Amino acid sequence: MQHQFTVQGMTCGHCERAVVHAVREVDTDALVKVDLGTGQVTVDSDKSRDAIANAIREEGYQVAA
């Protein structure tokens, strides 16, 4: 299942790696694409949208509903 998120606060490669790491803590097999310019994060995962969003929030980023 593909999930789309708008994530605020990502500004650099470190932010990108932190978001990818957070998602992979929930699903080690997730495919994660991050577009820093638009703040869009696309995740291919069987895990719930809420679980993924919460993992990103725990890294300190805001996830739009």
pLDDT at 44: 98
pLDDT (tens place) for every residue of the chain, 65 residues total = 999 999 999 999 999 999 999 999 999 999 999 999 999 999 999 999 999 999 999 999 999 96
The half-sphere exposure of 63 on its side-chain side, counting CA atoms within 13 A, is: 21
> Which residue reads 């719930």 in tokens?
48
List, as one string, the DSSP characters of 17-53: HHHHHHHHHH-TT-EEEEETTTTEEEEE-SS-HHHHH
pLDDT of residue 65: 63
Matching residue, tokens 């820093």: 36
Predicted pLDDT at 23: 98
CA dihedral of residues 13, 3, 46, 30 (deg, nearest 10)? -20
